[in-house]
Amino acid sequence: MNLKIAVLAGDGIGPEISTVGVEVMKTVCAKFGHNVSFEYALCGAAAIDQTGDPFPEATYEACLRADAVLFSAVGDPKYDNDPTATVRPEQGLLAMRKKLGLFANIRPVQTFKCLLHHSPLRAELVEGADFLCIRELTGGMYFGEKYQDNDRAYDTNLYTRPEIERILKVAYEYARQRRRHLTVVDKANVLASSRLWRQIAQEMAPRYPDVTTDYMFVDNAAMRMIQDPRFFDVMVTENTFGDILTDEGSVISGSMGLLPSASIGTGTPVFEPIHGSWPQAAGLNIANPLAQILSVAMLFEHFGLMEEGALIRRAVDASLDACVRTPEIQVVGGLQYGTREVGRWIVRQLL
């Protein structure tokens, strides 16, 4: 297979983990006889600094030319700490999703047996937890009409039937590939937008008789994720709720540095780790590259290259079992490995 990949390293630790992800992809492609080429482009604060735009037109065009985007992270304290800033790195991420039509974020939540003690939850609660959070990505309050003055502000949580139907279709299709259980998360007891979500979900459920569909208010879902994360198989929800719940789900594994994600839709798909740019760690060679590496596995799997993805997942598991880990998940007294060292160890496993 021929693959053209747009690489958007972004900010903070992004360039460090991006380098590891690219090396993993090169190694796997060489092993399986695939041709891969990379085009690098700016995004986030790095793009603002050079062009004034967090998602420049040149970056958009590079994404359009690519088969997939390998993205890392955006964010910078100089914008986070300035409430008057009118241009922000995160706007680049929103623009990328909107322009590429990436309406579905697929975020797996899973645990690793050797890291159960790192979870803030008891091991007996999280062992075996394995579910997907599917978040609608281009609608709702993040993209609805907004207003702010000194005394009043609002954000409009607008959703249309086509937007809801297409994300529910994605969720049902994923549920069919897994344990055939879909949980629709909303706030239908309060919000009109949520009542439309639930209405449409109830209309669609009979089309998928092989999938058990249940419904849960978002506050109950947040509680259930902590009390009994193994209850969930696939959950689907709107943009704002999904943003919150997916971050909550990420801590179940014990580290945000372990989990990848995919954003898919009508345009070029994007694969990225779920963590942020962690600017305080930039250049220190301590960032965990595993989420970026597992994002490469998801990229291969998206194109039906399941053996390639499985090879990467086995190498990641092997690194964890061998305690080749960055500091935040290393065992007490274990050897010190940095971002580059973990990446090199995994690359050797792939050969």
| Catalytic residue positions, numbered | 142, 187, 219, 243, 247
Largest CA distance in the chain: 61
Between the two ends of the chain, the Cα-to-Cα distance in Å is: 19
CA distances from 166 to 18, 177, 334 (A): 31, 17, 47
User: What is the DSSP track for 241-299?
Assistant: HHHHHHHHHHGGGT-GGG-EEEEESSS--EEEESS---GGGTTSS----HHHHHHHHHH
Selection from 324, 295, 226, 306 nearest residue 17 by Cα: 295
> How far apart are alpha carbons 309 and 299 in whole angstroms?
8
